[in-house]
């Protein structure tokens, strides 16, 4: 965000999350909210990542373990279905992969530069050794 001069911001270093008014935050999905430029929702930490999760929906059972345990609100679930990973906010911690219960896993970590389509095409097979 552009650096402002001393006379250009709200007094008290106060920040507003939304532009205008919001009636029911808990009932409004993120994509339907009018975030102000001061919400970190509008920022990105993608450059923190060395490794990234790739989601393969073919194996996903929509258990939502990854949704609940994601520290960065980066697992996007809508209507009880996992629809993807928010790559602006994912820091690449890998928790989602750890907690994924499917076999093979529906999420795996790859180097940041890896090509998603290639990795999905080469997805590991079911590990028969696993109980």
Partner 1 sequence: MAFQKMELKDIEVWDGNRAAAQALRQAQVDVVAAYPITPSTPIVEGYAQFTADGYVEGEFVMVESEHAAMSACIGAAAAGGRVATATSSQGLALMSETLYQASGMRLPIVLNLVNRALASPLNVNGDHSDMYMIRDSGWIQFDAYCPQEVYDLNLMAFKVSEDHDIRLPVIVNQDGFMTSHTAQGVRPLSDDEAYAFVGEYNPMNDMLDFEHPVTHGVQTEEDWHFEHKARQHNDLMTKAMPKILEVFADFEKQTGRKYNPVEKYDMDDADVCVVCMGSSVETAREVASEMRANGIKAGVVGLRVVRPIPFFEIADALKDVKAIAALDRSSPNGAAGMLFNEIAGALFNTNTKALLSGYVYGLGGRDLTKAHLVALYNELQANADAGKVTTQLQQFIGVRGPKLAFL
Partner 2 sequence: MSEVKNIKNLKEFSTSADRFEGANLLCPGCAHSIIVREVLNATNDDLILSASTGCLEVCTAVYPYTSWDASWIHIGFENSSTAVAGAETMYKALKKKGRLKQPERTPKFISFAGDGASYDIGFQWISGCMERGHNMMHIVLDNEVYANTGGQRSSSTPIGSSATTTPAGKISYGEKRNKKDMMSIMAAHGIPYAAQVSPNKWKDMVKKIQHGMAVDGPVFINAVSPCTTEWKFDPKDTMNIADLATDTLVFPLYEIIDGRELNITYRPKNVIPVEEYLAAQGRFKHLFKDEYKYLIKEWQERVDEKWAYLQRREEARV
Among 11, 52, 54, 80, binds partner 2 (CB under 8 A): 80
CB 57 within 8 A of CB 82: yes
| Phi, psi of 48, rounded to the nearest 5 degrees | -75, -25
Q: How far is the CB of 59 from partner 2 (least distance, A)?
A: 17
DSSP single-letter state for residue 108 = E
CA–CA separation, 70 and 22 (whole Å): 26
Q: Is 114 in the site for partner 2 (CB under 8 A)?
A: no
CB 112 within 8 A of CB 52: yes
119 HSE (CA, 13 A, CB side): 18
Q: Which stretch binds partner 2 (CB under 8 A): 8-16, 100-108, 113-121, 123-131?
A: 8-16
Place of tokens 């970590």: 109
Q: Which stretch binds partner 2 (CB under 8 A): 78-86, 100-108, 110-118, 121-129?
A: 78-86
Task: Return the structure tokens found at 12.
Answer: 């008290």
Task: Return the structure tokens found at 48.
Answer: 């923190």
Name which of partner 1, partner 2, none residue 12 binds, using a CB cut-off of 5 to 8 Å depending on partner kind.
partner 1
Q: How far is the CB of 26 from partner 2 (least distance, A)?
A: 4
Task: Return the structure tokens found at 5.
Answer: 């001069």
Q: Is 91 in the site for partner 2 (CB under 8 A)?
A: yes
Q: Is 29 in the site for partner 2 (CB under 8 A)?
A: yes
Q: Which residues of this protein are in contact with partner 2, per CB under 8 A?
A: 1, 9, 13, 15, 17-18, 25-30, 33, 37-45, 48, 62-65, 67-74, 77, 79-80, 86, 88-95, 97-99, 109
């Amino acid at each position: 965000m552009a650096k402002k001069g001393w006379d250009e911001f709200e007094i008290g270093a106060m920040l507003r999350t939304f532009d205008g008014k919001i009636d029911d935050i808990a009932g409004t999905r993120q994509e339907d909210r009018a975030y102000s430029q001061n919400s970190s929702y509008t920022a990105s930490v993608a450059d923190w990542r060395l490794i990234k999760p790739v989601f393969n929906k073919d194996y996903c059972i929509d258990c939502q373990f990854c949704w609940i345990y994601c520290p960065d609100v980066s697992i996007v679930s809508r209507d009880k279905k996992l629809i993807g990973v928010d790559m602006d906010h994912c820091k690449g911690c890998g928790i989602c992969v750890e907690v994924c219960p499917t076999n093979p896993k529906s999420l795996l970590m790859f180097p940041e530069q890896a090509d998603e389509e290639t990795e999905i095409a080469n997805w590991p097979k079911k590990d028969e050794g696993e109980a």
